[in-house]
Structure 1
Amino acid sequence: MRRLPDDWESAQFQRFEVSPVAPTIGAELSGLSLGDVDDELFAELDRALLEWKVLIVRDQPIDTAAQGALALRWGPLTDDQLIPNPGTAAQTDAITFERNDTVVGLENMWHTDGTFRTHPPVCTILRAIEIPAVGGDTLFADMAAAWDNLDPDLRDRLTSLSARHDWSIGAYADKYGDDLDELRAEVPPAVHPVARPHPRTGRLTLFVNAGFTTDLVGPDGSPIDGSDELLNLLCRQAEIPEYHCRVRWTPDTVVIWDNQAVQHYGVNDYHPTRRLMARASAAGG
């Protein structure tokens, strides 16, 4: 179990204190305000995100504009729509969304956001506005640790394989069911290496997930023999508790996660209670 790439030296942070919540993933930060992030503070947040993959910051009563402005430092914002609405202005604020007695949460599966895109989101900032008295936690899995702990012979085999990612096998299939064929043509599957180097650190991560990955393909793009069985084995690595950290939400808690390095699972144990959140995701590219 290693938290950092072998050639990476842990940073000393001057603008906040870091309290780890698990050995390789997740840290609570204290002594800072996310409503007033200057260049120096952002540089430290960025470094901490690369090191810890999930940052938890409590007691941050910021609004959607401040949350969006912070996410914009990592890249242009992208919303959760499969097809962006044409003619709309570029997003600058976080988007609020809720789950309640009629809108049921569908995030209770291990997944990485947007892997069906050529460039998945680089990070997401999620803020709790109204939460249930009990339940509604979010779990995160360190997919670099998952890669490191695969059998060495299996890792050697996987380095030559890629995986196909298709939005239409997951919750989106029901959400966009009336226009499935048209949208499949507009947003075709994407192919990513199974052993995907992190774009910033270069560290290999296991880049498959049960939410969007359909099959494994060889160098020529054709499905490999035994794809389903091997893919099931790889997807289940996200379930191993030693790779996890768990966030118990309180109002005004902000969590920033590296979408290139982790999977997450939104526990759906609070229905029919209302849960109101705000999300801002920075697009990849």
Structure 2
Amino acid sequence: MIEFHPVTKHIGAEVTGVDLRKPLAPEEVATLREGWLRHLVLFFRDQHIDDDQHLQFALNFGTLNHPAFKKDSSSPIHVLDQTDPKGEGGDEWHSDNTFEPTPPMGSLLRCVQLPSVGGDTCWANTYLAYETLSPSLQRLCDELTAVHDITMSMKKAISKGHPFDLEEIQAKWPPIERPVVRTHAETGRKALFVNRASTTRLAGLTDRENEALLPLLIDHIRSPEYQVRLRWRPGTMAFWDNRPTQHYAVADYTERRRMHRVTVNAFPEHQDGA
């Protein structure tokens, strides 16, 4: 029987009673989806699966999202293989690819190899980040939109030696404006939807107003009571909802860390138009 064991009060649960090496029955998929929507990020321990099993599990929950940039464009598996992660972009709070016309619904990240110490990942609940704002600030945010731009992330990657063509990428993904507060298509709850990696400004506000308000909103999700921190082990998989969460990859290691990720888009009936 599938069971969910909460890790914190507000976000994260370990899942037992499921073997990801095997195809899931429809009722198992439904149970996992309900638990995922409730806990926002699920942790599966001791799941020593291969890439094909990883992919097949992911496709129970959405359609394949092809990451905006990765080394091997022919594979649906995005390999994150790092020994020097500081400043790569994962080490700041973010939601994945909010600069895309339709940001991915979620990601399934599997641990393959770890450094001897370090390499944890944190997630934050952005429902709570919105709900704990004052009512007056909530009303203001409900009316605002923000600009999301790939440029900041790409400049960091290029500075770390990645051979990306900035102008080509900017042409493919121009800046896009989207609501500061996102309503989840499946739960109906509102979440704060700005992040340090991609959000460049609040539309319609002056520079001075942006300098005051945007950092406040971005930093608001850093409160520990909104967060969960995962200590990985080989064979651990995390499956998170990208819509009401942000995550942070702790860059505290200098040995090899190798993770495999599949990113999924929402099925049409679960899209919210953000």
Q: TM-score, normalised by structure 2?
A: 0.88
Distance 1:250 1:160, change over 3 A: same
> Which residue pairs with 1:16 in the alignment?
2
List runs of 5+ in structure 1 lacking aligned partners. Answer: 1-14
> Which residue pairs with 2:200 in the alignment?
214
Distance 1:224 1:78, change over 3 A: same
The 3-state SS of whatever aligns with 2:93 is coil
> Which residue pairs with 2:260 in the alignment?
278
1:139 is aligned with what amino acid?
C
> Which residue pairs with 1:11 in the alignment?
none
Work out the CA distance in 2 between the residues paired with 1:49 and 1:136: 23
Query: Which of the residues 49, 63, 66 maps onto 2:50?
Result: 63
Distance 1:212 1:129, change over 3 A: same
Query: Which of the residues 28, 32, 37 maps onto 1:50?
Result: 37
> Which residue pairs with 2:223 in the alignment?
240
The answer to whether the aligner puts 1:96 opposite 2:82 as a matched pair is: no
Work out the CA distance in 2 between the residues paired with 1:177 and 1:61: 33
Deviations 1:21-61 (A, max 9, x none): 11110001112112222211111111111000010010001
The answer to whether the aligner puts 1:124 opposite 2:85 as a matched pair is: no
Give the CA deviation at 1:105. Answer: 4.9
| Equivalent pair of 1:216/1:224 in contact (CA under 8 Å) | no
The 3-state SS of whatever aligns with 2:165 is helix
Alignment of 1:1-285 (within 5 A): 15-36=1-22, 37-82=24-69, 93-100=76-83, 105-171=88-154, 174-175=157-158, 179-218=165-204, 226-271=209-254, 273-284=255-266
Distance 1:60 1:143, change over 3 A: same
| Equivalent pair of 2:81/2:257 in contact (CA under 8 Å) | yes
| Equivalent pair of 2:124/2:221 in contact (CA under 8 Å) | yes
Give the CA deviation at 1:191. Answer: 1.5
Distance 1:171 1:249, change over 3 A: farther
List runs of 5+ in structure 2 lacking aligned partners. Answer: none
Give the CA deviation at 1:84. Answer: 10
Taking only aligned residues, the RMSD between alpha carbons, in angstroms, comes to 2.3
| Equivalent pair of 1:161/1:216 in contact (CA under 8 Å) | yes
Distance 1:153 1:103, change over 3 A: closer
Distance 1:263 1:102, change over 3 A: closer
Q: Aligned residues: percent identity?
A: 36
Deviations 1:95-146 (A, max 9, x none): 3231125998541100000100121110100000111221100000000000
Distance 1:259 1:172, change over 3 A: farther
The 3-state SS of whatever aligns with 2:186 is coil
1:237 is aligned with what amino acid?
H
Distance 1:179 1:145, change over 3 A: same
1:264 is aligned with what amino acid?
H
Distance 1:160 1:102, change over 3 A: closer
Distance 1:81 1:195, change over 3 A: closer
The 3-state SS of whatever aligns with 2:221 is helix
Work out the CA distance in 2 between the residues paired with 1:177 and 1:34: 36
1:41 is aligned with what amino acid?
E
Give the CA deviation at 1:67. Answer: 0.8
Give the CA deviation at 1:174. Answer: 3.5
| Equivalent pair of 2:37/2:241 in contact (CA under 8 Å) | yes
2:179 is aligned with what amino acid?
P
The 3-state SS of whatever aligns with 2:115 is coil
| Equivalent pair of 1:64/1:95 in contact (CA under 8 Å) | no
Work out the CA distance in 1 between the residues paired with 2:123 and 2:37: 15
Deviates more, 1:145-154 or 1:224-233: 224-233
